[in-house]
Amino acid sequence: MRDAAPPPALHPVVPHAGGPAHPAGVRAAARLRATHNGRATTVPLLHSDGPFHLRRLRPRGERARVCVLGAMSAPLGGDRLALDITAEARTRLEVTTAAATIALRGPTADPATYDVRLTAGEDASLRWLPQPLISTRGSTVHQTYRVELDGSSRLLLREEQLLGRTAEPPGRLSTRLTVRRDGRPILDQHTVYGAPTPAWDGPAVLGGHRATGQLLLVGPGLEAPPEPVLLGDPAGGHCVLVPLADGPALLATAVAPTPARLRRLLDEALARVPGAET
């Protein structure tokens, strides 16, 4: 049986008086914060909660690394999950996940919410590189990314979704990505997949593909291509790399029949960007 936790500040929920937040779902908020001590990036705050277990990894050069491990099945219907990641001034931080996140229906048909907040301070570099989110039959998930960047910070963000497991239709997946740089919005994107959304898998959207995702690069030194770059996989899949209007920022969006082919397309898009931190 899963233990309930207090509601996260990122997605407030009013609990029942004198009892847990809600008997049908977990309320959990995990937090991590990276600081620079004058010599190197350290991670003094690792607060695990609910399904999130945060673990430090071996640094890679100047970059501190943290992995998010799944301590229980999540998100399930009715869950309210939040993850808050802060890279303070001059830090170099990479955060990943150990395995794919599998959205399941759970004991209730209520939707689950999964909120991720990313903050990067002055001259900070933040990489958010999770494994895919898998939408399974009967699940409903509302995922949000809220990103706040300093004008001198750098961001590499990858998000990938797999719509249904083998021979299985997906649930309903809603994802919104909002990015602000120096307080000004540079990207606000909302996508919805799965029934009852009409034509979500039609030729104008996914074209029959089950894997979709994007790669976002923001930061000084990026060299935008003179025109959009179109990439293709001979085995199926397409990707387009375009600059954002209020950069410096580049967005690669891809669809593919499998997560492996999707990842190859996004990696190829990243390799096409001079000045990108790899």
The string over 110-128, giving b where at least 16 C-beta atoms fall within 10 Å of a residue's C-beta and e elsewhere, is bbbbbbbbbbbbebbbbbb
Cα–Cα distance, 219 to 212 (Å, whole number): 24
Residue 206: its pLDDT value, please? Answer: 76
Residue 200: its pLDDT value, please? Answer: 67
Residue 106 token pair: 């759970």
Q: How big, in percent rounded to 5, are the helix, strand and coil portions of the chain?
A: 5, 50, 45
Cα–Cα distance, 131 to 211 (Å, whole number): 12
CB atoms within 10 A of CB 253: 19
Query: What are the beta bridge partners of residue 189?
Result: 177
CB 26 within 8 A of CB 110: no
pLDDT in tens, 246-267: 778 999 999 999 999 999 999 9
Cα angle 132, 137, 143; round to 5: 45
- The SS3 of residue 35 is strand
**99 secondary structure, DSSP code:** S
Residue 95 clears pLDDT 90, i.e. is over it: yes
pLDDT in tens, 146-166: 999 999 999 999 999 999 888
pLDDT, averaged across the chain: 87
The string over 161-187, giving b where at least 16 C-beta atoms fall within 10 Å of a residue's C-beta and e elsewhere, is bbbbeeeeebbbbbbebebebeeeebb
Residue 61 clears pLDDT 80, i.e. is over it: yes
